């Protein structure tokens, strides 16, 4: 308890999945949380579930004005921003090999998975620099660590996010701001569960196949939120510029 006492965290995409689990966990650990989510129904439900210290701010992370407005509201409400979790993201069902994929998949994926974290860092990091402290957590993926995934646009976006994380860590650690990434394996959010049903079961190899070979590679949103909690807290003060695999060894053996 109270591992985040006194901290304010902005969590994008906190209406579902990993971000929603993190919102609950962060409030339970003493943080004030901004649920920065595009879907008002999900965002409001998440903030309610997390408790009185969570506040929903409708945000489209791909829209710079919306991100600016969210940062303004977070500062108005809580005075400072100590933690940014760039959770909003995810692959599209239609993503496929480079020679086949429809260009519209590129636009949507790069917009959400790269431009979103880019814009949020662009507007939250100056607040952290002014405070002289902060922790940013980007959400990459195991797909950036292994060359075997067929969703080629998503792979590119999540790979780029690791380089972005390293570049920002180098640039902003002298100002007291740490930037790290998490590379989750298969996390059973509703979105991912739906991917592993029907025809996609075959396309993705199936959860049982993955879990059979890598017993720790399939987990729950809370498993990843726990890693984010560590990176958000001062317990990780020596961890910077890292891309932490949380995928049961999927990329290691």
Interface residues toward ligand NAD, by CB under 6 A:
12-13, 15-19, 37-39, 42, 59-62, 87-90, 112, 116, 139, 141, 184, 186-187, 189, 191-192, 221
Q: Between the CA of residue 231 and those of 26, 115, 160, 178, 220, what are the distances in Å?
A: 12, 22, 20, 9, 18
Q: Is the Cβ of residue 5 or residue 252 nearer to ligand NAD in the bound state? A: 252
DSSP code, position 197: S
d(CA 231, CA 240): 9
Provide the minimum distance between the beta carbon of 126 and ligand NAD in the complex, in angstroms, as a whole number: 20
Active-site residue, from 154, 172, 214, 253: 154
Q: 139, 130, 134, 167: which is closest to 233 by C-alpha?
A: 134
Provide the minimum distance between the beta carbon of 139 and ligand NAD in the complex, in angstroms, as a whole number: 4
- Is 253 a residue of the active site? no
Name the residue whose CB lies closest to ligand NAD. 17
Provide the minimum distance between the beta carbon of 189 and ligand NAD in the complex, in angstroms, as a whole number: 4
Secondary structure (3-state) at 48: helix
Q: Is the Cβ of residue 134 or residue 185 nearer to ligand NAD in the bound state? A: 185
Stated as kind and residue range, the H or E segment containing 184 is strand 177-184
Q: Is the Cβ of residue 58 or residue 133 nearer to ligand NAD in the bound state? A: 58
Q: How many CB atoms lie within 10 A of CB 252?
A: 10
- Which positions are catalytic? 154
């Amino acid at each position: 308890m109270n591992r985040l006492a006194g901290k304010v965290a902005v969590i994008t995409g906190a209406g579902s999945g990993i971000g929603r689990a993190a919102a609950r966990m962060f409030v339970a650990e003493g943080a004030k949380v901004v649920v920065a989510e595009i879907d008002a129904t999900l965002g409001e439900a998440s903030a309610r579930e997390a408790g009185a210290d969570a506040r929903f701010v409708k945000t489209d992370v791909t829209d710079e004005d919306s991100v600016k407005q969210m940062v303004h509201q977070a500062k108005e409400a809580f005075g400072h921003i100590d933690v940014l979790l760039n959770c909003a993201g995810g692959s599209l069902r239609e993503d496929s090999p480079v020679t086949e994929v429809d260009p519209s998949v590129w636009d949507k994926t790069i917009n959400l998975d790269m431009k979103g974290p880019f814009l949020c860092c662009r507007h939250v990091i100056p607040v952290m620099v002014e405070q002289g402290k902060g922790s940013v957590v980007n959400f990459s993926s195991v797909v950036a660590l292994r060359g075997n995934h067929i969703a080629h646009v998503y792979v590119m976006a999540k790979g780029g996010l690791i380089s972005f994380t390293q570049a920002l860590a180098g640039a902003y650690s002298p100002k007291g701001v740490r930037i790290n990434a998490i590379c989750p394996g298969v996390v059973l959010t509703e979105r991912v569960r739906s991917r592993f049903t029907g025809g996609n079961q075959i396309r993705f190899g199936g959860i049982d196949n993955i879990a059979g070979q890598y017993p720790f590679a399939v987990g729950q949103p809370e498993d990843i939120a726990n890693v984010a909690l560590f990176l958000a807290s001062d317990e990780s003060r020596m961890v910077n510029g890292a891309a932490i695999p949380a995928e049961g060894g999927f990329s290691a053996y």
